[in-house]
Amino acid sequence: FVLVTISIRPSPGEINFDAVLADVIRQFKRKTEPAYLKSVMHDNVALERNLAIKLVPLPIKWAAIQLANRFRIGRCTTATVSNIGIVDVPSDMRPLIRAIDVYSSVSSPSTHLLGLATYNKITSITFSRKVYETKIEELMLTHLTEQGLPVEVQSNCWERFA
């Protein structure tokens, strides 16, 4: 498991979709190169094999991780995207499954969470959010339709009951 973090820090009034997209693509390509991933995994394994860390009781490790996350998460996190990629199932199950959805926990520090999965040439994008505002979803779906992609929207419509 490797977490790829993409950061965008535009100057006020300088948010441009094409520039943000180009920066995200550049960062994602760099952070998914084999050498970078190997380095991250090497660091993770070295940490797991560290004798001093092995001797620390698990409750103390959990407390340290939570404390570290508070400092790391203190930064603004707008969205978290989890993409499980292309999903395949045994052939006898295929007629029973129309799509695969991925739901992210709203306990994340992000205000918006996206889960992506592709099954049978259908990509499902699932939005979870902590806020009432639906503008991000609307903008993304509008962009996809403007690109000529077919979009089907399903919702639990919780906004009506909030």
Per-residue pLDDT of 49-89, as tens digits, reads: 888 888 889 899 888 877 876 766 555 667 788 888 899 99
How high is the pLDDT of residue 145? 93
Of residues 114, 112, 126, the one with CA closest to residue 154: 126
Residues 6+ positions from 134 with CB-CB distance below 8 Å: 159
% of the chain beyond a pLDDT of 70: 84
- What is the DSSP code string of 3-43? -------PPTT---HHHHHHHHHHHHHHHTSHHHHHHHHHH
Strands 112-119 and 79-86: parallel
Instruction: Give the pLDDT score at 103.
Output: 82
**Residues 23-44, mean pLDDT to the nearest whole number:** 89
Q: Return the closest-CA partner of residue 97 out of 120, 114, 116, 125.
A: 120
Q: What is the mean pLDDT of the chain?
A: 83
pLDDT at 2 over 70: no
